């Protein structure tokens, strides 16, 4: 059975050109980039070339790019080190952030590093209330604001340029988790007014275990990880040169083909949405689905209440379809999606996140919709 992979928001397959680039480096370069001998200098050159590539695509300067082990480390670095550097005691986030942000904020509050944690209001689509954000900042200027560019479960987009303008008005430090949108949208850091944005290579057909953080040149923070002078004394540990080269190549390819991929993948998403509505009674969607308000790679489908809702993903899996999902938390239970709970989704209705990439086809969508239709018909609650 040829499996159909629709879980690209979790991770993407490596691009063949990225693999070729990484293999070339693996076979020909083995020096430590911190070493002063010839082999070390060769690898240092590759490292700085990758940094320059990433910076150029983001309209940043190389000194603003620091490589990490991925998005979670980068989020932690931005939040923890940003709060420490400026002595910030109040943070603002939302209840639908990735756990890399949510759990970090919770721990900082628990440890007494911050005195107060505020949550900006969101609607039932996961869209933040910008007026409420401004009100929170008016009451608590010089806060740390952490709001993601696109929600990883719903796909709902946040107007990060607008958030940046509001934060600037109240002298706030702004971090955005851009893991889901890096390589899918243009990020011009000179326009964005964010102090920190982040990337994980495996979300854009690059390797796992590598990412980066952009730190605006006006911000001076201490490291999150100590132990060496790597990354200009900002991140101890020998650099993952193979991963870094692969990440830079993946981002370069993403920018080179961005509009074509966006048009194609948005077409797949719209096609699946329309086909599900036409063929599966009782189907709905979580989050925004309009192209201008939603990440084009993500479609979160809300199913009708079923007898075996907890087996929905398993049934898809045994039919050769890879996806992810869950449901809102039941009353008194911590099990479930904190995102779906936050937007008030019905806990009795299971949800599946289908997420697409350039490798998917309409034929795959046809197959998946047919299998979804069969599963619903077989398990619909009477």
Active site residues: 329
Q: What whole-number distance in Å separates Cα of residue 327 and Cα of residue 224?
A: 34
Contacts of residue 71, defined as CB under 8 A and 6 or more positions apart, other chains included, come to 98, 100, 177, 179, 198, 199, 200, 203, 211
CA 296 to chain CA mean position, Å: 13
Q: What whole-number distance in Å separates Cα of residue 48 and Cα of residue 27?
A: 19
Instruction: Report the half-sphere exposure of 256 (CA within 13 A, side-chain side).
Output: 9
Nearest in space to 270 (alpha carbons), one of 288, 293, 292, 296: 296
4: left (phi > 0), else alpha (psi -120 to 50), else beta? Answer: beta
The b/e string for 159-195 (b: 16+ C-beta within 10 A; e otherwise) is ebeebbebbeebebbbbbbbbbbbbbbebebeebbbb
What is the Rg, in whole angstroms, of the alpha carbon atoms belonging to the chain? 21
Q: In Å, what is the CA distance from 36 to each residue of 31, 44, 47?
A: 10, 9, 14
Tokens of 344: 């008030």
Q: What whole-number distance in Å separates Cα of residue 191 and Cα of residue 155?
A: 23
Q: What whole-number distance in Å separates Cα of residue 338 and Cα of residue 108?
A: 19
Q: Which helix (H) or strand (E) covers residue 261, if one does? A: helix 258-279
Count helices and strands (H / E) in the chain: 14, 13
Q: What whole-number distance in Å separates Cα of residue 254 and Cα of residue 184?
A: 7
Q: What whole-number distance in Å separates Cα of residue 257 and Cα of residue 353?
A: 25
Is the torsion defined by CA of 237, 239, 240, 244 positive or negative? positive
């Amino acid at each position: 059975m040829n499996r159909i992979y629709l879980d690209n928001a979790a991770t993407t397959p490596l691009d063949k050109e990225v693999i070729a680039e990484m293999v070339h480096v693996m076979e020909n370069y083995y020096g430590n980039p911190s070493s002063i001998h010839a082999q070390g200098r060769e690898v240092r050159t590759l490292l700085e070339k990758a940094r320059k590539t990433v910076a150029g695509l983001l309209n940043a300067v190389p000194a603003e790019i620091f490589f990490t082990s991925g998005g979670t480390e980068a989020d932690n670095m931005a939040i923890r080190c940003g709060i420490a550097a400026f002595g910030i005691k109040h943070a603002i986030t939302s209840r639908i952030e990735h756990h890399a942000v949510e759990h970090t904020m919770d721990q900082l509050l628990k440890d007494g590093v911050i005195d107060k944690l505020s949550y900006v209001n969101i609607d039932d689509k996961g869209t933040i209330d910008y007026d409420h954000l401004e009100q929170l900042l008016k009451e608590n200027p010089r806060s740390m604001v952490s709001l993601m560019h696109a929600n990883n479960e719903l796909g709902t987009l946040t107007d990060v340029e607008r958030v940046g303008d509001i934060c600037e008005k109240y002298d706030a430090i702004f971090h955005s988790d851009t893991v889901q949108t890096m390589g899918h949208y243009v990020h011009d850091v000179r326009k964005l007014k964010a102090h920190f944005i982040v990337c994980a290579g495996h979300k854009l057909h690059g390797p796992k275990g590598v990412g980066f953080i952009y730190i605006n040149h006006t911000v001076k923070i201490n490291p999150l990880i100590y132990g060496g002078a790597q990354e200009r004394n900002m991140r101890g540990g020998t650099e993952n040169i193979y991963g870094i080269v692969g990440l830079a190549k993946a981002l370069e390819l993403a920018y080179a083909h961005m509009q074509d991929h966006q048009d194609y993948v948005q077409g797949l998403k719209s096609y699946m949405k329309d086909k599900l509505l036409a063929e599966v009674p009782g189907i709905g969607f979580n989050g925004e689905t309009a192209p201008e308000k939603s990440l084009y790679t993500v479609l979160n489908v809300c199913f009708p209440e079923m007898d075996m809702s907890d087996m929905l993903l398993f049934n898809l899996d045994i039919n050769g379809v890879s996806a992810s999902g869950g449901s809102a938390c039941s009353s008194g239970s911590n099990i479930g999606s904190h995102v779906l709970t936050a937007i008030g989704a019905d806990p009795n209705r299971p949800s599946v996140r289908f997420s697409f990439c350039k490798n998917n086809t309409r034929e795959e969508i046809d197959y998946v919709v047919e299998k979804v239709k069969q599963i619903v018909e077989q398990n619909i609650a009477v």
